[in-house]
Chain A
Amino acid sequence: KAGVTQTPRYLIKTRGQQVTLSCSPISGHRSVSWYQQTPGQGLQFLFEYFSETQRNKGNFPGRFSGRQFSNSRSEMNVSTLELGDSALYLCASSPTGHEQYFGPGTRLTVT
């Protein structure tokens, strides 16, 4: 099976812009989770989607949003970008909601 894929791999944006990141899960996996990884805060959970429904959400401002499509692909959107949003964004899919399989990440740089 193909692994989790994320696009784009690298992104440079300017403060105030918005960005959309995409994630395609492993075939058959219906749960998709998103994480933000920074040197200072480590890995933090953003949200989880299952069958197009957000089931769980972490402690991030409303500028961070997501959605999931009927084919389980997921997108994450960040509006009004801030310098502090610079991070590696990881997507993970799961068959059960427990063990998760991660994509290679999207490196977002906000200037």
Chain B
Amino acid sequence: AQTVTQSQPEMSVQEAETVTLSCTYDTSESDYYLFWYKQPPSRQMILVIRQEAYKQQNATENRFSVNFQKAAKSFSLKISDSQLGDAAMYFCVAGGTSYGKLTFGQGTILTVHP
């Protein structure tokens, strides 16, 4: 079984600044994946970035990067040069060997101020 915890219900950032969203997870599996998804007001769930647990190198995707601390079971998302379009609900998500099942955190609402 997997659990995902996001302790920040809401975060805000000024446009062009950097913000970090926190996430901790728990899993009994040795082979698992971690993701960050965003869900803007349109409700369309969008994959932002993925991290394979067996990879030590932190994933990056343009302005988005993660800090994956496997021993601490921590998986934070850093958004650099924040843009108004980054405003959304961000979900930390875990996937493993359970076919097709992703486990979502509670989400963090990110507000970007111009």
Contact = CB atoms under 8 A, between A and B. Distances in A.
Interface size bracket, B side:
20 to 34
Contact of B101 (A48, A49, A101, A107): A48
A99 B36 CA distance: 10
Interface string A91-111: 010100111111011010000
Contacts of B43: 88, 104-105, 107
A102 B45 contact: yes
Interface size bracket, A side:
20 to 34
Interface string B28-60: 000001010100001111110010000000000
A72 B95 CA distance: 21
Nearest to B45: A102
Interface stretch (A13-21, A50-58, A78-86): A50-58
Interface stretch (B12-20, B66-74, B75-83, B102-110): B102-110
Contacts of B99: 31, 48, 50, 55-56, 97
B91 interface: yes
A58 B101 contact: yes
Interface string A8-52: 000000000000000000000001110100000011010111100
Contacts of B105: 42
Contacts of A99: 33, 35, 47, 50, 95
Contacts of A50: 99-100
Given A43-B91, A98-B95, A33 B47 contact: no
Interface of A: 31-33, 35, 42-43, 45, 47-50, 55-56, 58, 88, 90, 92, 94, 97-102, 104-105, 107
16 contacts: A42-B106, A43-B91, A43-B104, A45-B103, A48-B99, A48-B100, A48-B101, A55-B100, A56-B98, A56-B99, A94-B100, A98-B33, A99-B35, A99-B47, A99-B95, A102-B37
